[in-house]
Amino acid sequence: MTTKRPLTAVLTGAGISTDSGIPDYRGPKGLWQRDPSAQQLVTIGPYLADTEIRRRAWLMRRDAGALHAEPNAGHRALVELERAGVPMRVLTQNVDGLHQAAGQTPRKVLELHGTARDVRCASCGDRGPMTGALARVEAGEPDPACLVCGGILRPCTVMFGESLDLTVLDQAEAVSIACEVFVAVGTSLQVHPAAGLAEVAVTNGARLIVVNGEPTPYDEMAHEVIREPISTALPALVERLLAV
């Protein structure tokens, strides 16, 4: 007789991607600590209002090299969880697309903060690949405009000052209510409403496991807190979950 696997929700934050060369934002060595002014580059008001901020933002995207990052052992461990037949959903605060690149089924990944792999026009909504826009920056356009209407191009991410997509958030909340295991990986659990999904899960009876290098506001309600490096801790945790 086959044992029914519990529905598992995994909320991932910047910490799962640091081993892929993508820096986090809020950690002790995060981008906001090193350059607090950089937050303006991803804040919707200043971005739309100031050409110089957009130029700096395009240079940041060009130099970050996030589109060339490769999935690491943490991403691959979650793929193994899915391939083992565990009913699961990944709720990610990341915009790097590395879960899908690792082999996670795209429909099982809810991108709470959008994706940095595409751009769209703030005026007409035309959408295209980030690689195309970055190629124009490399060719000498400091602030590439929409090729359709000439409007401002922006990443398909949820920037500071914007609300999350309510459809995606509703889906994430439904998963959090229904799951029996909720794993928070590499997230400070400080950015709401995404962070509140952990409490939603616990309130509805889920077992909460926190895997993060720094303390989080939800550690006290967690059934288990793991402080080890994610690229080693997550594969080990997945192995334990599969052994149950």
Q: Which amino acid is at 117?
A: R
CA distance linking residue 142 with residue 58, whole number of Å = 7
Place of tokens 């690229």: 231
223 is catalytic: no
CA distance linking residue 187 with residue 10, whole number of Å = 11
CA distance linking residue 96 with residue 83, whole number of Å = 22
Q: Which of 117, 120, 127 is nearest to 94 (CA)?
A: 117
Active-site residue, from 68, 75, 99, 113:
113
Positions marked catalytic = 113
